[in-house]
A and B are shown apart, each in its own frame.
Chain A
Amino acid sequence: MEHPASGKAARKIELVCPAGSLPALRAAVDNGADAVYIGFRDGLNARNFRGLNFDWPDAQEGIAYAHSRGARLFVALNVYPRPEQWLAATQAVDRAAALGADAVILADIGLMRYAATRHPSLRVHLSVQGSATNRHALEFYRRELGVRRAVLPRVLSVAQVRRIVAQSELEIEVFGFGSLCVMAEGRCALSSYVTGRSPNTHGVCSPASAVRWEETPQGRDARLGGVLIDRYAHGEPAGYPTLCKGRFEVNGKTAYAIEEPVSLNVLEILPELVAAGVSAIKIEGRQRSPAYVAQATRAMRAALDACLANPAAYTPPAASMLALERLAEGRTHTLGAYHRPWQ
């Protein structure tokens, strides 16, 4: 499917990789990222974690490193700034422009208008937190706010992605690997219900500061904001207590009532996403280590190259599958909403 009018004719698909730190940025670029995305150390992006993100010297070094090796750099500024954060948020947009970032990733429409007004040549990508899941929403962001690319929430099937790409003039970026939000991004306040902080308000979900581990006679308890999210038997591997991925009682049965600890992995359906005409595939995980980023990027790069070289003959490369399986949350993966059982 070609879109000459919107410049989608070039069938390059950008591999967009997470960089929570300078070493992770280098790892991503060295292992085949076409673009990396970073956040500033200002609490204004969706991975507002201690010890993570870029100060100004690191950002400058990072963009020089990326650009010198042909990779683009995006700056995620994707919280919804509260009034007291507004000035800092606009300053962060200014800083991204001054840095020479290839795009800013925004969620807040007020901030988008600021960027479009003050920095008309700065590319704006709609963050997944912007929750655009259909062509009308995308058109609003494009026409009114000059958005050039949208990252789709992980709630759409491949058929829906295909339709959106065909109908929208925006470039479309989709998630390919990483931790899985089972909720529509930007539409989830579960974390603030329990901890007072959410992705929308503070750029965090199930923040570590609210986690408490307790050894009890029954096993190991994982609490978030005091709420028992999961209880692990002695010897059972324990995962991070993301609150939608705990075990709860529903109709008298204990189960992963919302979602299992599992990662998204699209390797099996890469040819379908390529055929759908997506412009970019994104790896989640700015909170991850440089080693993780290196392995995930390498695995995804190999698979994407194989797929683009010969989509018809493509099967997920065994080495890539194995590598991603090892990195996956709960060591298992899913196609999430892309495939039928979720729809």
Chain B
Amino acid sequence: MKLSVGPLLYFWERAAVFDFYRSLLDLPVDIVYLGEVVCSRRRALRRDDWLALAGELRAAGKQVVLSTLALVEAESELSSMARLVQTEDTLVEANDMAAVELASGRPFVAGPHLNVYNQQTLRLLSEHGARRWVAPIEMNAVTLGQILSIRPPGLEAEVFAYGRMPLAFSARCFTARAHGRPKDDCGFVCGLYPDGLTIYTRENEAFLALNGIQTQSARVHNAIGSLTALATLGVDIIRLSPHSDEAVPFREVILAFRKALDEIGSSNGKAACPQTRLPGGYCNGYLHGEPGMLRRDVDRN
């Protein structure tokens, strides 16, 4: 199986973004998704910056995919998306039906925010050009296996396997709201939280994480124990979602997953995935058909 790094969901400083992607150049990931998925107000990197990074990553042998915004309302957002989709020789991850409309007829990745829950819908997207499908975050392994059992020819399947999960999108910016600021004068306070702003229940359980208009799980989804099962279902690509080094040494996460993928089918010991420092720790319930926040111990092999 291949390893991918999903789009950066947080608002990091420009230099931190460049550092992050340059750190991937000599790490064993096969595919890197670039671009802003959450909020069009975040403009630390412009289109040319992303394309420059794309060039460096490609030169290092990575496949680059440009991800589109997930919640698209403004005309300006549609124009940016249209330009993104027309980028030559570059695959685009469509995270809204607007992107499917614009990309239709050329190869694209059907992103995790398109609602694909059955083969018929996947086939329709495939007829429009989808060459890869990233399963919805809440999909369990049984459903995934059913869908992949008769997938369209040539279609790759990718699964979100590591990171705080993007669970919801809203018109409201909850980070700005937490700071008492209106969305149109947000002061980019989401930049203060490189892994999201954790919210806790009143008995101090880390519950969710606010990331601008996106709401994430506080717990970090970690499917490292299910890689063999996912391979058996026919999953082709394992996605790791970027986190800052404050949360976890991301480099070590990549190496752990790489090692685990390389050892599928062998009887070597468990790959040691570094612990996350984010409150709440790891979870993996969705894959097992359980609430996403639960953690079930799984034997890796």
Contacts and interface: CB of A to CB of B under 8 A. Distances in A.
B226 to A, nearest CB: 17
- Chain A to chain B: the 6 pairs with minimum beta-carbon distance, closest first: A110-B120, A136-B98, A155-B171, A110-B121, A137-B97, A80-B117
Contact of A183 (B78, B115, B124, B215): B215
B35 to A, nearest CB: 17
B170 interface: yes
A4 interface: no
Contacts of B275: none
B120 A250 contact: no
B178 interface: yes
Contacts of A155: 71, 73, 169-171
Interface of B: 70-75, 77-78, 81, 96-102, 104, 113, 115, 117-125, 128, 136-138, 143, 146-147, 165, 167-172, 174, 178, 182-184, 197, 199-205, 207-208, 210, 215, 217, 285-286, 289-293
22 contacts: A80-B117, A81-B117, A82-B146, A83-B147, A110-B122, A131-B96, A135-B98, A141-B97, A182-B170, A183-B169, A184-B71, A187-B168, A189-B136, A192-B291, A195-B291, A196-B289, A200-B136, A227-B205, A227-B207, A227-B293, A249-B204, A255-B178
Contacts of A336: 171
Contacts, number: 211
Given A80-B121, A196-B292, A257-B199, 16 more contacts: A81-B117, A82-B146, A83-B119, A83-B143, A86-B120, A135-B78, A135-B98, A140-B98, A189-B137, A193-B167, A193-B293, A227-B293, A228-B201, A250-B210, A340-B182, A343-B171
Greatest chain B CB density within 10 A among A189, A198, A342 is at A189
Contacts of A246: 201
Contacts of A259: 172
Contact of A189 (B146, B174, B182, B292): B292
Interface of A: 80-86, 107-111, 113-114, 129-137, 139-141, 144, 154-156, 160, 163, 182-184, 186-190, 192-196, 198, 200-201, 225, 227-231, 244, 246-251, 254-255, 257-259, 336-337, 340-343
Contacts of A129: 115
Contacts of B183: 342-343
A82 B202 contact: no
B96 to A, nearest CB: 6
A108 B98 contact: no
A342 B291 contact: no
Q: Is the interface of B mostly helix, strand, loop or mixed?
A: mixed
Contact of A140 (B78, B101, B197, B207): B101
B135 to A, nearest CB: 12
A183 B168 contact: yes
A249 B205 CA distance: 10
B170 A160 contact: no
Contact of A133 (B71, B104, B215): B71
Given A196-B285, A200-B138, A134 B143 contact: no
A138 B37 CA distance: 20
Given A160-B73, A183-B169, A248-B201, A109 B98 contact: no
A230 B115 CA distance: 30
Contacts of A139: 101
Contact of B138 (A136, A198, A229): A198
